[in-house]
Amino acid sequence: MKNLKSLRKRIRRLEARLQKGGKKLAKLKQKLGATAPGGRAGKKPAAAVKEPSAPKKVKRKLNLTPERRAQLAETMRARWAAKRAAATSAQSSPSGQ
């Protein structure tokens, strides 16, 4: 069955990038178990044993100068203020018409 083949292929791809697809992987495995014939269910434990523990990505610390940090903070405050102003004007304009 092509459907089972594609499900297995998607499961293999998700197992390769486990850190993102944990919930989706479980959902796909459940779907495969529901659609697969009874004789195929024996493959699940082999896949569970195969899972390596993925190393955590190290978050890099930005080396910003105090001047650059202040500049970024000012830019972000201006952006947030513009976003708030746009949101309030968008809320008031439809009710005014």
Using the predicted structure, report yes or no on whether residue 15 has a pLDDT greater than 90: no
CA-to-CA distance for 45 and 48, rounded, in angstroms? 5
Segment 17-43, tens digit of pLDDT:
765 656 777 888 888 888 776 545 555
- pLDDT bin (cut points 50, 70, 90) of residue 4 is confident
pTM (2 decimals)?
Answer: 0.34
The pLDDT > 70 percentage for the chain reads 73
Look at residue 19 in the predicted model and tell me its pLDDT.
55
Closest by Cα among 18, 85, 89, 70 to 47? 18
Under 8 Å between Cβ of 7 and 24: no
Q: Domain residue spans in the chain? A: 2-50, 63-97
CA-to-CA distance for 87 and 93, rounded, in angstroms? 10
Tokens of 12: 């293999």
Using the predicted structure, report yes or no on whether residue 86 has a pLDDT greater than 70: yes
